[in-house]
Structure 1
């Protein structure tokens, strides 16, 4: 029988690329082992391709570049996520900021900048989320 997709590659048969491995290392460094391990445990066949994509593309290609520090990437990421209204991701990256050297003052400045360039409502929503994350971190002693 002739295959309908003769050049199709079974992704499960490919070995992990070096970029993927670097991405996982950077992802763990930024987000922490606890977060990444939880994501890996929850990964299913449905979202495994997505998890592999973000690990390789975001963490392997972008976050692992040497042009900016992890702190700088963290600040920009928080501002962009706030501007786009992705508040769950804002919370995750605010927690991760502890691992990148980004301070609360850095985050405050990023959100102030967001207010001017992306709008006060976007920044205001993010500020509420960030304050909640800070309160949780303070309560847990982190």
Structure 2
């Protein structure tokens, strides 16, 4: 990975998941794991830092896409990241209601269950 891409990737990953997250919980920075290396270099080193959308907006879009695709593990991971970059629990709740009509009720219901384990005060309005 080039130094520039690596620097950009680390900065974004740390915004989303905190200091040290770019190296993973096992200390792996992608050098020994080609899959992780590609994700860090290309996705977080080239795509996420592109101009035109703020990190917060990219995060909300990512959460929405993962919800609709039913990618529960990645949805939970990116949901935590979205909260860290300023997406509010209320915005996430509203996004899930909105996407129930576009992505389907079953995936939205599953996402809602996951979100309610992660979001502060989730479900208090029910």
For normalisation by structure 1, the TM-score amounts to: 0.74
Cα distance in structure 1, aligned partners of 2:108 and 2:51: 29
Cα distance in structure 2, aligned partners of 1:132 and 1:41: 27
Matched, 1:98 2:80: no
Aligned residues: 122
Cα distance in structure 1, aligned partners of 2:104 and 2:116: 18
- 1:111 matched residue in structure 2: 96
- 1:68 matched residue in structure 2: 53
RMSD across aligned positions (CA): 2.4
The structure having more radius of gyration, on CA atoms, is: 1
- 1:3 matched residue in structure 2: none
Cα distance in structure 2, aligned partners of 1:50 and 1:107: 29
Task: Give unpaired runs (5+ residues) of structure 2.
Answer: none
**1:25 to partner: Cα distance:** 1.6
After TM superposition, the runs of 4+ consecutive aligned structure 1 residues lying more than 3 A away are 34-40, 42-45
